[in-house]
Amino acid sequence: MFNWWTFFFQLVNFFIVLYILYRLFFKPLQNIIRARDETISQGLNEIKEGEERIKKEEERYSEKMKEIDNLREKEIDKARKEALHEKDRMMKETEEEIDKARKKHSRIIEEQQKKIEKEIRRKSLEFSLFYSEKLLKELSDEMLHQKRIDQFLQALEQNRSKEISQLKEELEGKACALDLYTAFELSKDSLEKIKEQLHGLLQCDSLEIESTQDTALIAGIRLLIGNKVFDASLKAELERFKEKMEKEI
């Protein structure tokens, strides 16, 4: 037979046990679950905030990278322009150095050519004078020699230069001693004739001539009066011609 009191007490015991379980287990468990949910929610919020922060950092990183890329491009462009400018400068300096070297080389070549041409002219002059002297020696004779002497004495008598005038003033009324160099040996008559002409020209009180043969003169004479030299030899003509040509070389 169903006992209501037993059922009632069992029911009361059930609720008591349930209350005890609620107080001892369920509520702490609920608190743990709630705390876990809060921790998870907080963790999720932190993860979300971290993701947003990471996203912002990525955006900022991307902007920084763009700035770096732009700066790098600017620096590369600047370096490229500087390199091109330096290249142009170096090319210009190189061209200037090459031009200087070319001008210097051309100047050296020109100087060498002038030097060679001058040397050729000098050698040609020496060659010409050598063979001219040799030819004149072969062609010279006493007739040509005497003709050169006559021309010299005639020119000396007609000479009205200051040098001759001073010489006359110095020797007038004095005893004169002259040195005469001749290419061919003079006869006594020729020597006496020269002496008479010089005596009358210089107006000396007395005149002595020392005659010496010098075949190197080729033809003509060389006269030494004091410290004055009058050279009417063909050798002297060649020497004067040589000096003149050397000045023109």
Q: pLDDT-derived band of residue 181, with 50, 70 and 90 as boundaries?
A: very high
Q: pLDDT-derived band of residue 45, with 50, 70 and 90 as boundaries?
A: confident
Residues with Cβ < 8 Å from 123, sequence gap 6 or more? none
Render the burial of 9-43: b for 16+ CB within 10 Å, e for the rest. Answer: eeeeeeeeeeeeeeeeeeeeeeeeeeeeeeeeeee
Enumerate the domain spans of the chain.
1-112, 140-248
Whether the CA torsion 19, 24, 26, 28 is positive or negative: it is positive
CB 222 within 8 A of CB 232: yes
190 or 5, higher pLDDT: 190
pTM of this prediction?
0.52
Q: How far apart are the first and last CA of the chain?
A: 168
CB 149 within 8 A of CB 191: no
